[in-house]
């Protein structure tokens, strides 16, 4: 290996690429799963999101032309679920405006999301406050002109880092008093982007906007009581909403009940496909690398034929010759695999610190990389090693 550095490096390249592909795909998939699970935990896996639009197709074509004609959710549905569903801990309503212009002093931001919410929204979405406080119950019920800013909105509006509490921001043609700033969290699976948003009372929005128009889709969020099965709560809430909306027996629901588990199942199926693609790409690289290792081992056997003959002449058995070349092939592949693992480690550090993407490094994935490297080494080296062990010592010594 030391005598033929270039040849060894080129032979290791295929193994390195193959292991890098496989471990990278497995690591990215594990990281995505971990981030999604953490996201679901923060949102609550016991929450139903009910509105006009289903997140997934309802067993066929996505009939958007039907969904857009469905009536919007209103406070009446919230009150009905809270009072008639014993298995529900709380329910709330959120109306989303997607293109607000928010202004403070000379600074103006566009394309800001505005979440007009009712009481208990912070309990369902687990909103964390960095400065100040969240909207109080009287402010939410009375529709006051108070607001909580997202982290990015705060930094863009208050460039000097001044205290925003008690100051006013303008949007929807009104002045709102800032009572708090949320912690930086990023966008979650339910589509809430709190960093680039403002949160204010629903009843204030209802006085300025048409919250029941076809373009509006207030979201009813329902949190199951502790220990209650979410599927049972779903059927319970469905029955209540059908009664409130006067949906006749046999008719389809005029609303969609969504839950994060449906999204996670679909994502897991996509991960399965990506996993297979990673193994396929890595497999082809490993096959190329295995042929390269086999080729270099045949060349090695040819170069050391006289040495093999001398060893056998002084008493070396076939198994020792076999193991000598087999171990050499395994070591070559193991070196390539370790290089591939080190590349994955380097990429994970770059992703974690430069792109703000938390990478989950699994010992099992590294074990898979080492195991596959050893397996490829055995498969690619067994034939050259067997060929070397079968050489006749007299013929081998006479070989030029």
Give me the mean pLDDT over the 164-190 stretch: 87
> 144-156 b/e with 16+ CB inside 10 Å = b?
bebbbbbbbbbeb
What CA–CA distance (Å, rounded) separates 192 from 281?
Answer: 35
CA proximity to 352, closest of 28, 7, 33: 28
Q: What is the pLDDT of residue 180?
A: 94
Q: Which residue has the tokens 């590294």?
A: 366
pLDDT-derived band at 124, boundaries 50, 70, 90: confident
pTM, whole model, 2 decimals?
0.68
DSSP H or E stretch at residue 149:
strand 146-149
**Look-up: residue for tokens 């979650």?**
188
Q: How far is the C-alpha of 300 from the C-alpha of 378, rounded, in Å?
A: 16
Specify the pLDDT at position 58.
64
pLDDT in tens, 88-98: 999 999 999 88
Q: What is the DSSP string of 178-243?
A: EEEEEPP--B-TTS-B-TTEEEEEHHHHHHHS-TTSTT--PEEEEEEPTT--HHHHHHHHHHHHHH
Task: State the alpha helices, DSSP H only, in the chain.
Answer: 5-43, 64-67, 75-84, 121-125, 137-142, 151-157, 202-208, 230-244, 260-303, 305-313, 318-354, 363-389, 393-398
pLDDT computed for residue 344 by the predictor: 84
Cα–Cα distance for residue pair 211/95, rounded to 1 Å = 7
By the 8 A CB rule, do 238 and 254 touch?
no
Q: Is residue 27 very low, low, confident or very high in pLDDT (cuts 50, 70, 90)? A: confident
In angstroms, how far apart are the furthest CA atoms of the chain?
Answer: 102
Chain-centre distance for alpha carbon 65: 31
Looking at residue 270, what is its pLDDT?
A: 74
Q: Which of 254, 257, 232 has its CA nearest to residue 245?
A: 254
Higher pLDDT, 87 or 4: 87
Residue 78's pLDDT is what? 92
Separation between Cα atoms, residue 376 and residue 327, nearest integer Å: 12
Phi, psi of 193 (to 5 degrees): -115, 85
Mean pLDDT over 298-310 rounds to: 79
Q: Which tops the pLDDT comparison, 303 or 132?
A: 132
Residue 75 has pLDDT above 70, yes or no: yes
346 — pLDDT class (breaks 50, 70, 90): confident
Q: Which pLDDT band holds residue 312 (cuts at 50, 70, 90)?
A: confident
**Joined tokens for residue 163:** 């205290």
- Rounded to whole angstroms, the Cα distance separating 385 from 324 reads 8
Chain mean pLDDT for the chain: 83
* pLDDT band (50, 70, 90) for residue 67: confident
Q: Are 144 and 190 in contact (CB under 8 A)?
A: no
Q: What is the pLDDT of residue 137?
A: 92
Task: In whole angstroms, give the CA distance from residue 358 to residue 178.
Answer: 32
Nearest to 392 by CA among 328, 295, 305, 327: 305
Q: Which of 281, 278, 264 is nearest to 365 (CA)?
A: 278
pLDDT at 397: 76
pLDDT for residue 213 is more than 80: no
Check whether 17 has a pLDDT greater than 90: no
Q: How far apart are CA 322 and CA 378, in angstroms?
A: 11
Between the alpha carbon of residue 8 and those of residues 13, 21, 95, 212, 314, the distances in Å are: 9, 20, 63, 70, 30
């Amino acid at each position: 290996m030391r005598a033929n550095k270039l040849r060894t490096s080129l032979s290791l390249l295929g193994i390195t690429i193959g292991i890098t592909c496989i471990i990278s795909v497995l690591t990215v998939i594990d990281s995505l799963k971990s981030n999604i699970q953490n996201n679901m935990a923060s949102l609550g896996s016991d929450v139903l999101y009910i509105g006009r639009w289903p997140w997934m197709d309802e067993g066929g074509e996505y009939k958007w032309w039907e969904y857009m004609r469905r009536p919007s959710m209103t406070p009446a549905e919230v009150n009905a679920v809270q009072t008639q569903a014993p298995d529900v801990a709380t329910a709330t309503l959120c109306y989303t405006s997607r293109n607000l212009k928010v202004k403070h002093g000379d600074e103006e931001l566009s394309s800001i999301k505005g979440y007009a919410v009712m009481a208990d929204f912070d309990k369902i979405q687990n909103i964390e406050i960095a400065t100040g406080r969240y909207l109080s119950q009287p402010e939410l019920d009375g529709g006051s002109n108070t607001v909580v800013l997202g982290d990015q909105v705060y930094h863009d509006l208050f460039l000097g880092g001044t205290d925003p509490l008690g100051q006013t921001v303008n949007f929807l043609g009104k002045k709102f008093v800032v009572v708090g700033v949320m912690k930086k969290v990023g966008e979650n699976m339910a589509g809430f982007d709190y960093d680039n948003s403002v949160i204010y009372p629903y009843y204030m929005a209802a006085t300025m906007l048409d919250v029941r128009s076809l373009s509006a889709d207030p979201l009813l969020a329902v949190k199951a009581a502790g220990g209650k099965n979410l599927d049972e709560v779903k059927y319970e809430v469905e029955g209540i909403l059908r009664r409130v909306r006067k949906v006749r027996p046999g008719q389809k629901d005029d609303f969609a009940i969504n839950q994060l588990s449906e999204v996670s199942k679909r994502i897991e199926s996509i991960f399965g496909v990506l996993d297979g693609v990673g193994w396929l790409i890595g497999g082809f690289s490993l096959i190329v690398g295995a042929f390269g290792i086999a080729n270099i081992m045949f060349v090695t056997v040819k170069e050391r034929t006289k040495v093999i003959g001398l060893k056998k002449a002084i008493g070396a058995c076939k198994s020792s010759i076999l193991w000598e070349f087999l171990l050499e092939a395994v070591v070559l592949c193991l070196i390539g695999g370790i290089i591939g693992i080190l590349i994955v480690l380097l990429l994970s550090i770059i992703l974690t610190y430069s792109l703000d993407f938390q990478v989950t490094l699994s010992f099992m994935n590294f074990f898979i990389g080492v195991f596959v490297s050893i397996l490829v080494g055995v498969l690619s080296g067994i034939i050259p090693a067997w060929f070397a062990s079968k050489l006749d010592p007299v013929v081998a010594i006479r070989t030029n």
